[in-house]
Amino acid sequence: MSRGLRKFSVETIAVLASVVIFWVPLYFVLLTAMKSAPEASEMNLAWPSKIQLWQNIKNVVAFRDHMLLRAFWNSSALTILSLAAMVVVCSMAAFVMQRRNDKATPWISFFVLAGLIIPPAIVPTIWVLNEIHLFKTLIGLVLVEVALGFPFSVMLYRGFMAAIPREIDEAAVVDGYGGYRLFFTIIFPLLQPVTATIIVTQAVFIFNDFTNPLYFFPGAKNATVQLTLYNFTSQFVSQWNLLFTDILLITLPPLLLFVFFNKKIVAGMTTGSVKG
Amino acid sequence: MSKVFKRIYTYNFLLPAAIVYTVVFIVPTVMSFFFSLTRWTLFDWTFIGLDNFKTFFQEPSLSIGFKNTLIYAAVTCAAKVVGGLLLGVFLTSKIRTKDYLRSVVFFPVLVSTIAVGIAFSMMMHPTTGLFNTALAHLGIEGPDWLGDTKLALLSVAAVDVWKGIGLATVIYIAGILAIPEEYSEALQIDGGSSWHKFWNITVPLSRPATNAVIILSFIGGLRSFDLIWAMTRGGPGFATDVIASIIYKQYQGGFYGLATAGNVILFLFVTAIVYPLSRYLTRNEVDL
């Protein structure tokens, strides 16, 4: 076989494999979400006799007193608040950790990096949140997300900040700038590329997070979108179509983000995972 | 560092992060060592020494969790390293569809784990599920993927690999692209085959990527909870119970001291494995 032909067939096989491995499951979700309950329970790839996607969406949204809408609201609020706090808090911390160089710095780095390895102690965290009256509140959950995203974000910020010359700081000091003015008017705007990366990647993680809301944000009123999916599994045993409509709806936001920020997300994931 | 800069780079910048991180991460971690030695209702505790740990190790259902956690972490980690490396090599070669393939492989990383778990458990249904219907067309009688105690853990691990391999692949792609061209040019002059290139250049020189993938997926595997919970809730029996799912079950049952003991065990377990592993891996890293 000639080189060109062999290359062509390898590519064809790869594309076909990608269709089977990645598109079929997605197609299956979409198809099931369009079906009626009896047809959905057959679990096959047959085209629905009648497309009732819109009807399913209306049903799943109306279910349990519009719980899904509240969940979308909670999840969006959680994601936005966590990101806002994370960006400010982590960039400030990274600034000092990267610029300063004294006896304490290695220790601080050690504690922060330990956060990447240590599994969070769950019940004691509930206890602490309870003591400060933030258990079962959105703010409490935001604090948890910020704390858990802190090591990763600081790592990204520090790596990027190392490339910003200290001469800038010196020039600003000569001009009479203080630390805060230097950071907020000069350094922070320069960090914009990493900030964007952190926002996009962490948005996906927080929006998709299941474990933390499960532990720290219990109660029907508090549900996030991932929790509705989990709660619906027990209630929709005979209505797979609605369960899959829910899957479709809550997958949409990350999907859109992915379509628009594909490159950014990938860049962020790699720089974050390979230590710089 | 001069006094001026000590003032400019004030530790006040660290304060907000330090407060949040200390209050909701470090304090609970430290407290967990104390609470794991108690019978605990969140409001009240009785000191009971090492009883929680004894319970943990004596009950067979709980110690199964250990074995499962290790198997799960090892299997998913190995599959992600090998699969990620091969995909990474393939997706950095001169193929026209690589942009499309890269996106497709990466996409599952971004989908909700719970959604993936639910969709796959439906596809793995023993009689009507997509997997076994497809196998039936080929004349093969498919197994009960999630109902068979021997197979269930591996089935969940396979879904974990499906979902997570995109991240490993992307890390490898970045690692492979960082290898200077000169090496393969030199090899070409010496008449080396593409197999030689893979084995003598790509594999050793993408070591940093391999280390990152190993550490990341091993930690992820040891801690994993949401996919297992969405697909099997630890069942059938205790066949897919891992430390994290046992912690959740103890928590649900109101055994907070026991759940915290599980947490301490997970902490020690992860640190005992990951710390020496990362030391070992970074020591043997090759400089480009």
CATH number, domain with residue B59: 1.10.3720.10
How much is the pLDDT for B224?
Answer: 92
Q: What is the pLDDT of residues B247-277, one digit of tens each?
A: 999 899 988 998 999 999 999 989 998 888 8
Please name the residues between 1 and 20 in chain A that touch chain B, using a CB distance below 8 Å: 7, 10-11, 14-15, 18
User: Using CB atoms, which residue from B174, B247, B267 is nearest to A274?
Assistant: B174
Most confident of A49-63, A223-237, B25-39, B49-63: B25-39
Closest chain B residue to A44 measured between Cα atoms?
B130
Residue written as tokens 């190392």? A162
How much is the pLDDT for B96?
Answer: 86
Residues of chain B with pLDDT under 50: none
Residue B19 counted as domain residue: no
Task: With cut-offs at 50, 70 and 90, classify the pLDDT of residue A234.
Answer: confident
Residue B184 counted as domain residue: yes
Contact A262, B170 (CB under 8 A): no
Domain-wise residue ranges, chain A: 59-275
Q: What is the pTM for the complete model shown?
A: 0.90
How much is the pLDDT for A275?
Answer: 45
- Provide the H-helix boundaries in chain B: 3-8, 15-21, 27-35, 51-58, 60-92, 98-106, 113-123, 130-137, 152-177, 181-189, 194-196, 203-205, 207-223, 226-231, 243-252, 256-283
Size of interface A-B (CB pairs under 8 A): 251
Distance CA B77, CA B214 (A): 6
Q: Which ipTM value was assigned to this complex?
A: 0.89
Residue B167 counted as domain residue: yes
Q: What is the mean pLDDT of residues A98-127?
A: 90
Residue B5 counted as domain residue: no
Query: Quick check: A93 and B125 CB within 8 A?
Result: no
CB crowding B138-171: b at 16 or more within 10 Å, else e:
eeeebbbbbbeeebbbebbbbbbbbbbbbbbbbb
Cβ of residue B125 closer than 8 Å to a chain A Cβ: yes
Q: What residues are paired with B47 via a beta bridge?
A: B38
Residue B80 counted as domain residue: yes
Q: What is the pLDDT of residues A86-100, one digit of tens each?
A: 999 999 999 999 998
Residue B31 counted as domain residue: no
Q: Is A74 exposed, middle or buried (0-12, 13-18, 19+ CB in 10 A)?
A: buried
How much is the pLDDT for B285?
Answer: 63
How much is the pLDDT for A257?
Answer: 85
Picking from A83, A138, A88, the residue whose alpha carbon sits closest to that of residue B15 is A88
Cβ of residue B195 closer than 8 Å to a chain A Cβ: no
Number of domain units in chain B: 1
Contact B165, B79 (CB under 8 A): yes
Task: With cut-offs at 50, 70 and 90, classify the pLDDT of residue A125.
Answer: very high
Angle between helices A240-273 and A225-235 (to 10 degrees): 140
How much is the pLDDT for A276?
Answer: 37
pLDDT of A76 above 80: yes
Domain residue limits at B247:
54-282
Topology of the domain comprising A59-275: MetI-like fold (1.10.3720)
CA distances from B161 to A161, B10, B83, B214 (A): 34, 44, 9, 13
Please name the residues between 11 and 30 in chain B that touch chain A, using a CB distance below 8 Å: 11-14, 16-18, 20-21, 23-29
Please name the residues between 101 and 130 in chain A that touch chain B, using a CB distance below 8 Å: 101-102, 108, 111-112, 115-130
Q: What is the mean pLDDT of residues A114-137?
A: 93
